[in-house]
Structure 1
Amino acid sequence: MAGARGAAALERDDPRRYGVNALETLLEGLVDYAGLFPPAALPMDDAVRNYAAYRVGERRGMLARFVLPVARLDEFVRAASRIDRGGDIGPWPLSVLAGPIDASVVAAFNREHGARWVIDSIEAKATTVGEVNAVAAAYGGLIVYVEIPVDADPAELVHAIGAAHLRAKIRTGGVTPEAFPAPAAVLRFLAECVQRQVPFKATAGLHHPLRGEYPLTYAPDAERGTMYGFLNVFLAATLLHAGTEPASLVELLEERDPAAIVADAHGISWRGLHASAAQVAQARSRFAGSFGSCSFEEPVQDLAALRLLPPRL
């Protein structure tokens, strides 16, 4: 699929794609696999082995990048070099958590390994405009997502990210209840990104399609908490991008009923609000990037259980 592996295919906003179910377009290349991170926290060998299998698996259309910290690049190379890639072709796309001081490491990695694994996305953090500008000065030619806090109004930081031609990132959860921002804060972030025409991605706490109470870790006695669903977040982003007023979407971020979301070749609808197939494709291509998840199987299995997984994806 385009974007997930760099294969030659129609762009998501090409009108020739509109015969497919619009939910397939929304889900295509949506998951950045972050198996190294909590709560999964897998060893490098296991995470790399999983990613290799997902890239040639039945649901590979949902898969995008492999996410890892810059400090573990050497470990990744050792593990990935041991993998039999079979019929998998093309370099693996990597998204690397890095700061401005790591730019030379990233450049050197791509020069040496770009034919097999390529860092095409950087994920950095910033809490001030100065930090945003430092990230922008360090990285050119790569997709750069800047994670910013969203508890306070993020307008100034989103504006700086847009002015620097970077992309924004929101943390939508974690392994404790307090790590999850309020729905109003998530919607305010998305609306600000739409207003400034800043693409975004999300990370953490989005293992499940719809909002609900789930275990916060994989421990047998794990605390449960209210988590966002990735369909809630990315459908809200799509409708915002299509021109829906933010106030109409607060309830969408809290939606728990799979029957409330209806998709076909013409578009996706939620309780009277509708995004056409063209609008879904344009939102995914131009605005709504992906989400990082330490599990790839859980999102796929949950979609299938809810009968929301397009058969061709």
Structure 2
Amino acid sequence: MTSSVFADVFETFFDDAAVFPPGNMPMPQAVTDHGSHHRTWYAPTLGPFVCPAERLNELRAVWDGRRPLPLSLLLPGPAGLTALLQQAERISASPLKAVEVVLPVGMPLAEALRMLDDQLAEDVPCYLEVPRGAQQDSVLDTLAATRYRAKFRTGGAEPEAHPDEWELAQAILGAVRCGVPFKCTAGLHHAVRHTDGVLEQHGFRNVLLATAAAADGADRGDVAAVLAQRSSQEVTRQIRSVDPRRLMVARACFVSFGTCSIFDPITDLVALNLMHHLEEKNR
């Protein structure tokens, strides 16, 4: 696979969620580091800086507004979005790259979508966090007829926050079936599936390969098997053997994921010889 293909596959893949757990980086350091990342050879892999709406004042205190800040705004619900959007765009000095919304407990999805339609410009990508469990398929079916995207939670501080490979396979298959692009949040700290203490953490390359398999018509068992693969050598072999066009189709589905450490995924890709071409190209 050529270096240009790898550059395309991983472009804008890593959303900078440094202020979120478990990193919990202080806002001033997170903003400084984000600017530093954009001056590196791996800058093309960076997505937006993800900021919770309740911390916009902190962000305003440390960002001078003279340079654009690619920003994704995270909200606990669709209420009050208009004022927050205006505040965020003044801070970032550019249009928002994305909005991420949690569906409040008890709020019907149709109501949330109406509120978003009333407040959000059509050219701003918006991700709705899809609840786990029985609602998942119906939510994806509803999103399929809209401009909205899905957000899947793939980890957290407790073991129960991590969906197993069968649950995540179902989510990926549902999104691909419905034609709903998605991003992931939490837990995808490294490239390959692994155990971290008591936490079973998915690998972002496993998820990318699983999405490619789902787009090719694989069933739930086959997709789950890809997610469960723990061998770095095997996952690397698989991703190198995939037709580059399939990986780009998968990226159109699996848009990005939030990571509290940009260094972790970059380090993994370099160690697995999947980004050395980019490194050499930009020296």
Fold similarity call, TM over 0.5: yes
2:64 corresponding residue in structure 1: 81
State the SS of the aligned residue for 2:51. Answer: strand
- Segments ≥4 residues shifted beyond 4 Å: none
For residue 80 of structure 1, report the CA deviation from its aligned partner.
Answer: 1.6
For residue 211 of structure 1, report the CA deviation from its aligned partner.
Answer: 0.5
Say whether 1:129 aligns with 2:121: no
Residue of 172, 190, 197 corresponding to 1:208: 190
Q: Relative to 1, partners in 2 of residues 1:46 and 1:184: Cα closer, same or farther, differing over 3 Å? A: same
Superposition RMSD on alpha carbons, in Å? 2.4
Between the aligned partners of 2:89 and 2:230, the Cα distance in structure 1 is 46
1:180 corresponding residue in structure 2: 162
Tell me, yes or no, if the aligned pair for 1:100 and 1:139 is still in contact at 8 Å. Answer: no
Between the aligned partners of 1:190 and 1:173, the Cα distance in structure 2 is 15
Offset from partner CA, 1:153-189 (integer Å, 9 cap, x none)? 5110011122221000000001111110121111111
Runs of at least 5 residues in structure 2 that lack an aligned partner in the other structure: none
What's the TM-score, normalizing by structure 2? 0.87
Alignment map for 1:100-139 (pairs within 5 Å): 100-109=78-87, 112-113=90-91, 116-126=93-103, 128-137=108-117, 138-139=119-120
Residue of 19, 26, 42 corresponding to 1:36: 19
Q: Relative to 1, partners in 2 of residues 1:30 and 1:263: Cα closer, same or farther, differing over 3 Å? A: farther
Between the aligned partners of 1:168 and 1:291, the Cα distance in structure 2 is 12
Greater share of residues in strand? 1
Number of residue pairs the alignment of both structures matches: 273
Alignment map for 1:15-26 (pairs within 5 Å): 19-20=2-3, 22-26=5-9
Runs of at least 5 residues in structure 1 that lack an aligned partner in the other structure: 1-17, 215-222
For residue 35 of structure 1, report the CA deviation from its aligned partner.
Answer: 0.7
Between the aligned partners of 1:46 and 1:170, the Cα distance in structure 2 is 27
State the SS of the aligned residue for 1:174. Answer: coil
For structure 1, which segment, 223-232 or 180-189, has the greater mean C-alpha deviation from structure 2 after superposition?
A: 223-232
2:258 corresponding residue in structure 1: 292
Tell me, yes or no, if the aligned pair for 2:192 and 2:235 is still in contact at 8 Å. Answer: no
Alignment map for 1:1-313 (pairs within 5 Å): 19-20=2-3, 22-81=5-64, 91-98=68-75, 99-109=77-87, 112-113=90-91, 116-126=93-103, 128-137=108-117, 138-141=119-122, 142-152=124-134, 154-214=136-196, 223-262=197-236, 268-269=240-241, 274=242, 276-284=243-251, 286-312=252-278
Q: Relative to 1, partners in 2 of residues 1:23 and 1:74: Cα closer, same or farther, differing over 3 Å? A: same
Tell me, yes or no, if the aligned pair for 1:213 and 1:225 is still in contact at 8 Å. Answer: yes
